[in-house]
Amino acid sequence: MTENEISTKIIGLAIEVHRILGPGLLENAYKECLFYKINKSGLFVEKEKALPLIFEEVKLDCGYRVDLLVEKKFVIEIKSVESLNEIHLAQTLTYLKLGKFKLGLLINFNEILLKNGIRRVVNNL
């Protein structure tokens, strides 16, 4: 499955979760529910996947963790904030770069209409 196909599937699942829960919950509630839906759909998903930082020859565990990593190649960063800003996009792009992943989604579940809270983030490797 390509990153674009995964993206399409994840957006559909996120919309299902949002339709049931609505906005206003903590980030962790959305993460757990989306993790469950992705797993149930048959895709391989890891939660709180650690990403080390490699500086020169040294591998550093700096505590970077991707909210959800799908099929070992697609990053999902989940937020529940008033609005997304540049630091959220930068964080997601950093995860893509550290893991050498091509594509990810930044999803803010604290929106009345979820499509307004979804951003595709691309790493131009």
What is the rounded distance in angstroms from the CA atom of residue 62 to the CA atom of residue 31?
Answer: 22
Strand, coil or helix: 73? coil
Residue 117: per-residue pLDDT: 97
One digit per residue, the tens of pLDDT, for the chain of length 125 reads 999 999 999 999 999 999 999 999 999 999 999 999 999 999 999 999 999 888 888 888 777 899 999 999 999 999 999 999 999 999 999 999 999 999 999 999 999 999 999 999 999 97
pLDDT score of 112: 97
Partner residues linked to 106 by β-bridges: 77, 119
3-state secondary structure of 116: helix
Class of domain 3-122: alpha beta
Q: Write down the pLDDT at residue 63.
A: 76
- What pLDDT sits at residue 86? 96
- Quick one: pLDDT at residue 59? 81
- For the entire predicted model, the pTM comes to 0.94
Sequential DSSP letters for 37-52: HHHHTT--EEEEEE--
Helices 3-21 and 27-40 pack at an angle, to 10 degrees, of 120
Would you state the pLDDT for residue 48? 95
Indicate the domain borders of the chain. 3-122
Q: Which residues pair with 118 in a beta bridge?
A: 107
What is residue 61's predicted lDDT score, i.e. its pLDDT?
Answer: 77
